[in-house]
Amino acid sequence: MLLIRLFEKKLASRLVYQGKIINLRVDEVELPDHTKSTREVVDYSGAVAILALTTAGELVLVRQFRYPINKETLEVPAGKVEPGEEPLACAKRELREETGADAASWQLLYRFYSTPGFCTEEMHLFLARDLTFRGQELDDDEFIRVEMVPLEQCFEMIKSGVICDAKTIIAVLASSNA
């Protein structure tokens, strides 16, 4: 049996859209069997997500409206890594801005790609402990409500579909190893 090398070679690239948060490009590629195809790619600088746990065993979550899916979601705090920013610095900034909390203890749990079929976003999931709350520092266009949920209840919220955000599901599942 002949094994085909699973690799696609970029032949050409065309920027279709350049935005504030994402860019969209269409690439022409050569497939492993030497035929050609196109790939639509969303370029995104990367992001962080924070599994913030209180000493009482609660997960710090944020409730917000997500326009693309036209509904409120309950998620772990998260945000976009700015150009030149280290993921840990971003995680500290996002936790403070979205929840008003600072953490004395930080640990990188996982790095993963959120949707590798069409997006370059790499997510860094951090565990934050020993929290001190000072007050939110939201952007002008952010409307976020902080909710403390017992960690054990989060597993049931995933099963029932209340928590439906992928990074939050990964964070909750990762908590059993944290």
For the chain, the structural domain boundaries read: 9-43, 47-112+122-177
Tokens matching residue 45: 């600088």
pLDDT of residue 3: 72
Write phi, then psi, for 67 (nearest 5 degrees).
Answer: -55, -45
pTM, whole model, 2 decimals?
0.91
pLDDT of residue 176: 82
138 near 62, Cβ under 8 Å?
Answer: no
Tell me how far apart the alpha carbons of residues 60 and 53 are, in angstroms, rounded to a whole number: 6
95 near 102, Cβ under 8 Å?
Answer: yes
Quickly name the fold that domain 47-112+122-177 has: Nucleoside Triphosphate Pyrophosphohydrolase (3.90.79)
Residue 94 has pLDDT above 90, yes or no: yes
134-150: per-residue pLDDT in tens?
988 887 888 999 999 99
Percent of all residues in the chain with a pLDDT value above 70, rounded to a whole number: 98
- The mean of the pLDDT values for the chain is 94
How long a stretch of residues is the chain?
178
pLDDT of residue 138: 82
Per-residue confidence at 104, pLDDT binned at 50, 70, 90?
very high
Tell me how far apart the alpha carbons of residues 22 and 27 are, in angstroms, rounded to a whole number: 16
44 near 167, Cβ under 8 Å?
Answer: no
- CA-nearest of 133, 64, 52 to 100 is 133
Tell me how far apart the alpha carbons of residues 128 and 102 are, in angstroms, rounded to a whole number: 9
Q: Bridge partners of 14?
A: 26
| Three-state SS at 124 | strand
